[in-house]
Structure 1
């Protein structure tokens, strides 16, 4: 029993397996609820609700007429799913005895979190999606805007990495002596966290199941959200690390896992579309490109994307609470300025569905060809980065090392 607990509840899960599972779950989520796995649209609504509480009327803004601001998070599909993600992440972190308040060592990290989070939130909503709706679940929806966003995010993450590597933004290294023996009090606290985690999980699942009897889609959204939360926390799925690692260390394992997850999801989405479920298609305009660059830059500066800050905030990492605040603020600022930015950058451009533009077969083949090419490009980049590193270590010019 102890080994089972350590293996499935305490140890981290394989990122590849978890991302593939997320791809399958996001496909089923689309088929059942008719929408995709996405979070920043709901975070923007949270910002709208805060403004309503303060006496403003954002429900009259054009942006909220596009994404809606009716009801409350617990009676919206997206809201229930996001609440489920927080609950699932918290339960998973507690199972692993990984919940502990961790404060940033330097105050400037809070400013970095707020600014990076705000830039990422603004960019995500400008493009009508984040690393989920305009990337991981957007590309399998066969929307051209998701490809524009994805490529621009890669570019933005490169520039973000250059800034994040500047000395004044680097964290201070501090060596601490660690006693390998676990004190009895620590063992008791660990056991308590595991039990609390189980309680959180049971209550969350119970709430989702109860909702099934009154509003089935809301109940399913909550249950799927719990599943997504478990996956991102136990496998530490963060798109920021995928992009950042690619530029800093040359490692592309997470990025390749994400592509495989999209490959798995695309076929399932295609099947549902053929059965009559409409995909989510958005404007393929400058908004997707500019939004992607801002999003990629912002998540690297902040240190986490939407999935990353959700599970890390549940682990007690205070830095990521501020990333979330910045994210919601940035998305809300975009909503407030949509009347100006929307017509100029988005709504005047077409919504390109690859399954319509290229035919169902053509759109499916083009999507898989793009994903396969991206996978091969990542392999090439990792090999090239490794060769250059070895060349530097041996004081050999890179041109000579490639001969």
Structure 2
């Protein structure tokens, strides 16, 4: 295989979602095994909000939520912080390889309002449930935590309501019609693409070098950044977005990304199971109303905003300004939850049990229950897909009969 063929096939073209999501599941398993934590982002975003408040003179470190997730250090000294820096770097490098970086401004104020409001609702819901589409969903289910199943089901329901809500007339942007005499020619900029690709390689090499240099003195921090670069490459090149997975399923009947996510969770579960059998502790959270309410809010919020945590991160570095606002909303919403946590947590979270499926059903039983639930989820997705297209076909037949 020549370099040009490799470059075109694997660095410039988009990757197939299913293999990429499965790779992300396997990578997240090793991330857990090596660092002792799980692939998550909103917890760190919440810390960013708390530290910004500290700079403004607010003693956020005294809040119960920040005592729970720890507000010590900085993004450069925390595993989650270094992993997220690596993710942004990996996303940016991958976008540059494909010449997919361009400043794109929101087309209306409605979109900005959607981005901020949706991001805040999603951020609030994610932290109420102690996770996002990654921590409480993509890696929460393979960690055998019952709360992640509550969150996943509630998220699916929330995205359904979000999809219906965003179809309301208020969210329709007026389209300006312009008369033209001929089609506009496509403009190719091969020199720009070459420059961008070289810059992307420099960014990639710099991120890897930074990670390796850090690993010499602080192995976990350096390796966390390396994993982050890998996660970033995967989500940008395969355009992995949980919002698209759910919204497409409800609106267009397309389920390819939803199936890919289920396969990714299945690949991760067996790896996590192996680490647990070797003595590592999975991350188990409260299986209370917080997981259900948080999932509903998160699902609704990501569809309103137009992107989940992984979605807004790679789109933001591609130059889509809309997702800068989504990210800001995420930080604001998660920080708002931290403020109200002491009032909400006793009734919604901390007085409820942390249910580990491996402990509840035994190691083999918990693994089988997890795979049975994943298989049921896959069957439901396939059922919905077939039902959706059967209904569309019936509608077309009726339309033809009335003509």
After TM superposition, the score normalised by the length of structure 2 is 0.96
| Alignment-derived partner of residue 280 in structure 2 | 277
The aligned runs of 1:200-239 (5 Å cut-off) are 200-239=203-242
Partner SS for 2:131? coil
| Alignment-derived partner of residue 334 in structure 2 | 331
| Alignment-derived partner of residue 27 in structure 1 | 29
Moved more, 356-365 or 327-336: 356-365
Aligned length: 394
Which deviations, in whole Å up to 9, do the C-alpha atoms of 1:67-121 show, x marking residues without a partner?
0000000110000001100000000000000000000111111111000000000
| 2:185 matches 1:179 | yes
| Alignment-derived partner of residue 356 in structure 1 | 359
Distance 1:28 1:175, change over 3 A: farther
Partner SS for 2:40? coil
Deviation at 1:187, TM superposition (A): 2.0
The aligned runs of 1:303-322 (5 Å cut-off) are 303-322=306-325
Structure 1 residue runs of 5 or longer lacking an equivalent are: 398-403
Deviation at 1:180, TM superposition (A): 2.8
Distance 1:92 1:284, change over 3 A: same
Partner SS for 2:262? helix
Which deviations, in whole Å up to 9, do the C-alpha atoms of 1:201-238 show, x marking residues without a partner?
11100000001110100011000000000000000000
Deviation at 1:195, TM superposition (A): 1.1
Which of the residues 277, 296, 300 maps onto 1:293? 296
After TM superposition, the score normalised by the length of structure 1 is 0.96
Structure 2 residue runs of 5 or longer lacking an equivalent are: none
| Alignment-derived partner of residue 375 in structure 2 | 372
Deviation at 1:179, TM superposition (A): 1.5
Superposed CA RMSD in Å reads: 1.3
In 1: Cα distance, 2:313 partner to 2:162 partner: 21
Partner SS for 2:26? helix
| 2:160 matches 1:158 | yes
| Alignment-derived partner of residue 145 in structure 1 | 147
| Alignment-derived partner of residue 119 in structure 2 | 117
Deviation at 1:269, TM superposition (A): 0.2
The aligned runs of 1:82-121 (5 Å cut-off) are 82-121=84-123
In 2: Cα distance, 1:273 partner to 1:347 partner: 24
Which of the residues 43, 49, 52 maps onto 1:50? 52
Deviation at 1:181, TM superposition (A): 4.8
Deviation at 1:190, TM superposition (A): 1.5
In 2: Cα distance, 1:175 partner to 1:34 partner: 55
Q: Which runs of 4+ in 1 moved over 2 A?
A: 1-4, 170-178
| 2:259 matches 1:253 | no
Which of the residues 336, 347, 350 maps onto 1:344? 347
In 2: Cα distance, 1:124 partner to 1:58 partner: 19
Partner SS for 1:378? helix
Distance 1:395 1:84, change over 3 A: same
Partner SS for 1:251? coil
In 2: Cα distance, 1:57 partner to 1:214 partner: 31
Partner SS for 2:76? helix
Which of the residues 75, 89, 92 maps onto 1:73? 75
| Alignment-derived partner of residue 243 in structure 2 | 240
| Alignment-derived partner of residue 393 in structure 2 | 390
In 2: Cα distance, 1:394 partner to 1:198 partner: 52
| Alignment-derived partner of residue 400 in structure 1 | none
In 1: Cα distance, 2:89 partner to 2:336 partner: 27
| 2:15 matches 1:13 | yes
Distance 1:172 1:6, change over 3 A: farther
In 2: Cα distance, 1:7 partner to 1:344 partner: 52
In 1: Cα distance, 2:390 partner to 2:205 partner: 50
In 1: Cα distance, 2:97 partner to 2:141 partner: 33
In 2: Cα distance, 1:294 partner to 1:173 partner: 30
Deviation at 1:188, TM superposition (A): 1.9
Distance 1:342 1:201, change over 3 A: same
